[in-house]
Amino acid sequence: MAENTSAKLSTAPYKGVRDFYPRERFFFNYLTDIMRAGAESFGYEEYSASVLEPTELYAGKTSEEILREQTYTFTDRGGRSVTLRPEMTPTAARMVAARRRELSFPLRWYSLPNCFRYERPQKGRLREHWQLNCDLFGVAGVAGDAEILHLAHHLLQCYGAREDQFVIRVNHRALLHEALAALAREAGERLTPAREAAVLRTMDRRDKMAPDAYLKALEAAAGKALADAVHSRFTPEAAPAFCSALPSYSQLEALMGYLKQLGVGNARHDPFLVRGFDYYTGMVFEVYDTAEENPRALFGGGRYDRLLEMFGTEPIPAVGFGMGDVRIRDFLETHHLMPAYSSPTDLFVATVGAEMHLTAMQVAQHLREEGLNVAVNLTDRKVGAQIRRAADRAIPWVLVVGEEERTHAVYPLKHLPTGREYSLPLSAVAETILSLGK
Ligand code: HAM
């Protein structure tokens, strides 16, 4: 006999991607059901697309870091370069640009794609995550920014979060531009677009760097004179006053006015907030957990009025955000806002002996037709063991079918969480369960 010498295949998933066993899937569905309902409550319509995109879609305007270091890119059999989407915004922009003449603006679109980034897996950062994307196309003004922030705030409230548990940090790319231009003038330097982008990228990472390293990175991005000006004048203490004297500050003030009137009480100006994507042109925001043990941005977005130009079309104003499932779950767990697991099955039909399987299947079908989700025992375990299995799976109700029950047409029904027992004709079972609930 030939010996099987091959090593056993690993059961682990590919590093950083997600298997969802049923319990995990329950929690995932909880998160995404609220995302869907929240987006739809603001009039957003769902769209979706393939996970595969031509690599060139990301070459122009997204984040250099993502493109250089984090995309899954391969060459297909026809020699074309293909990328697994690391984010949804370029796809949404492509789809809107492709049908811009037929679509009637403004568009309110949402999607729940999985996205892939080649990252070092750690808390809050995986190689595959699902991301609610809500985007508003065709509204240029501050009211559009306000709607997107209002929706972001609303979603967290739908999860049961209070305003003191999260903060919405808001900034404006025009304000950053004006601040850097003013500092460059003071330093006697010219602010080229490339230099500006390099400084913004450095400022975006400021939180993650020691002060010396930050200054060094600024010097590398902007030259010594501008780096010194940014470092000495654009400090956490001085930046708010510095920004409030700039022309674009009025846009931020108008936005804050809207938010206040809409009941969003936890939005704050953060003069250092940049966000990593090059396509943002206006308002940018990030939502943070106020609990220190969960320091990463929960989600974020902003306005990108010029991204659609890369398809050679007239500009279409756009604003939106991406909210990842992993960090929302961390946030909800931190604040004890995740629900307990609850089974999708209402009732387990236990059987006394294998000869009752067919009767139990018929009883179950009758109850399904009355609106219950019902699983049937098909093993030869003893009734007690069957009930323990049902309890392990968090099924709340158990009905026992045996010869005697069949003869008398009366069935014992037990509610496992309370231990309460009932003896009922089949016609009363569904009504009892539906009225008493889980
Ligand atoms: P982003 O900030 O790169 O923005 O991602 C949005 C959110 O997706 C993050 O705040 C986080 O919740 C989640 N996320 C991103 N990467 C990971 C990861 N490796 N592991 C777990 N979660 C992650 C965007 O992608 C923009 N396209 C959002 C946008 C939509 N802007 C306008 N419209």
Decide: 289 and 295 in contact? Cβ < 8 Å.
yes
Closest to 420 in 3D by CA, of 433, 405, 404: 433
Any atom of ligand 1 within 6 Å of the Cβ of 131: yes
Residue 177 in this model has a pLDDT that exceeds 60: yes
**Order of strands across the sheet with 81-84?**
52-54, 81-84, 72-75
CA 70 to ligand 1: nearest atom: 19
Specify the pTM.
Answer: 0.94
Domain boundaries, the chain: 22-334, 347-436
Q: How many CB atoms lie within 10 A of CB 95?
A: 18
Residue 53, classed as helix, strand or coil, is: strand
Ligand 1 centroid – CA 421 distance (Å): 49
Ligand 1 centroid – CA 214 distance (Å): 24
Mutate to test the pocket of ligand 1, among 84, 85, 127, 129 (most ligand atoms within 8 A of CB): 129
Residues contacting residue 93 through CB under 8 Å, at least 6 positions apart: 304, 307, 308, 310, 311, 318
Any atom of ligand 1 within 6 Å of the Cβ of 86: no
pLDDT tier at 3 (50, 70, 90 boundaries)? low
The continuous run of DSSP H or E covering 73 comes out as strand 72-75
How far apart (Å, rounded) are the C-alpha atoms in residues 243 and 171?
10
Residue 373, CA atoms < 13 Å, CB-side half-sphere: 9
Any atom of ligand 1 within 6 Å of the Cβ of 133: yes
Residue 293 in this model has a pLDDT that exceeds 90: no
What is the tens place of the pLDDT at every residue in 212-224? 999 999 999 989 9
Mutate to test the pocket of ligand 1, among 17, 66, 87, 166 (most ligand atoms within 8 A of CB): 87
- Closest residue CA from atom 16 of ligand 1: 125
Residue 21, CA atoms < 13 Å, CB-side half-sphere: 5
Any atom of ligand 1 within 6 Å of the Cβ of 135: yes
Superfamily of domain 22-334: Bira Bifunctional Protein; Domain 2 (3.30.930.10)
Any atom of ligand 1 within 6 Å of the Cβ of 320: yes
Common-topology check for domains 22-334 and 347-436: no
Residue 242, CA atoms < 13 Å, CB-side half-sphere: 22
Distance of CA 160 to the CA centre of its chain: 16
Query: Which residues, in sequence order, are bridge partners of residue 386?
Result: none
Helices then strands, counting H and E runs in the chain, come out as 15, 17
How far apart (Å, rounded) are the C-alpha atoms in residues 305 and 6?
56
What is the tens place of the pLDDT at every residue in 386-424? 999 999 999 999 999 999 988 999 999 999 999 999 999
Please give the structure tokens belonging to residue 246. 């700039």
What is the tens place of the pLDDT at every residue in 124-137? 999 999 999 999 99
Q: Phi and psi at residue 288, in whole multiples of 5°?
A: -120, 145
361, exposed or middle or buried, with CB in 10 Å at 0-12, 13-18, 19+?
middle
Pairing type for strands 128-137 and 107-111 reads antiparallel
> What pLDDT is attached to residue 207?
86
pLDDT tier at 299 (50, 70, 90 boundaries)? very high
Any atom of ligand 1 within 6 Å of the Cβ of 296: no
How far apart (Å, rounded) are the C-alpha atoms in residues 47 and 134?
10
Please give the structure tokens belonging to residue 303. 């306005």
For the chain, what is the mean pLDDT? 95
> What pLDDT is attached to residue 296?
84
> What pLDDT is attached to residue 5?
58
How far apart (Å, rounded) are the C-alpha atoms in residues 237 and 234?
8
Give the chain's length.
Answer: 438
- Closest residue CA from atom 28 of ligand 1: 322
Superfamily of domain 347-436: Anticodon-binding domain (3.40.50.800)
Any atom of ligand 1 within 6 Å of the Cβ of 129: yes
Please give the structure tokens belonging to residue 189. 């330097």
What is the tens place of the pLDDT at every residue in 333-368? 999 999 999 999 999 999 999 999 999 999 999 999
**Alpha helices (H) along 42-106:** 64-65, 89-98
Decide: 272 and 206 in contact? Cβ < 8 Å.
yes
- Closest residue CA from atom 29 of ligand 1: 321
pLDDT tier at 68 (50, 70, 90 boundaries)? confident
